[in-house]
Structure 1
């Protein structure tokens, strides 16, 4: 009788690499009241590809960030707006989860260029906006 296969055994999880920080847990903003609260904080930065609004929440979990996405009809028809929001969701999973501070509400607002701008430029736009709002977190050594 043979022992269990090695792939059936639990494998040790590799921890985060030295000098990196654990990604934030992203929670969605869903209600109009939440979006209006972030807009009311009047903390925003606009780039060619997107607009970022942010609001600090002192009572929140520093290992999580709440994120909302919106695209008005100025962006284009329904297909274009949906594509823009999909790209913003992918961008948030990539940049906000890894580089942004926790305990903050973020709203990413699509602009007309969001649907057609290259993803690398969108990533740069979001990183610039986070930096200008002083919401980038540094990697720990």
Structure 2
């Protein structure tokens, strides 16, 4: 078996399953598009205000995200505390700047930043940033 670096799988896999904690103590699982900043060891996820995962994180700012390889034989989980930025009522607010940075990190330049900023405000988008405190995983084949 070769050496397996869970952070490499996290960096290469944009879709993960975010686990937050409901008020009942049970997990809330949500598929999300995640962007990993390897240099800062942070995971970013854009979410909408008012959704269960956002409400859960406002109450208990701890989460885990699990990533699975396309063949299903490798997985990686990151755990950590999170901060939430936004939503904002102003397209030029620093909270929207953070969403611009998230987009750039994950996808590069947007064809119309003004439109993107307005959509982030109208959609009540919130940026979750996870500071990774633990990462683990395995390559099964």
TM-score (norm 1): 0.31
More strand by share: 2
More helix by share: 1
TM-score (norm 2): 0.31
> Radius of gyration: which is bigger?
1
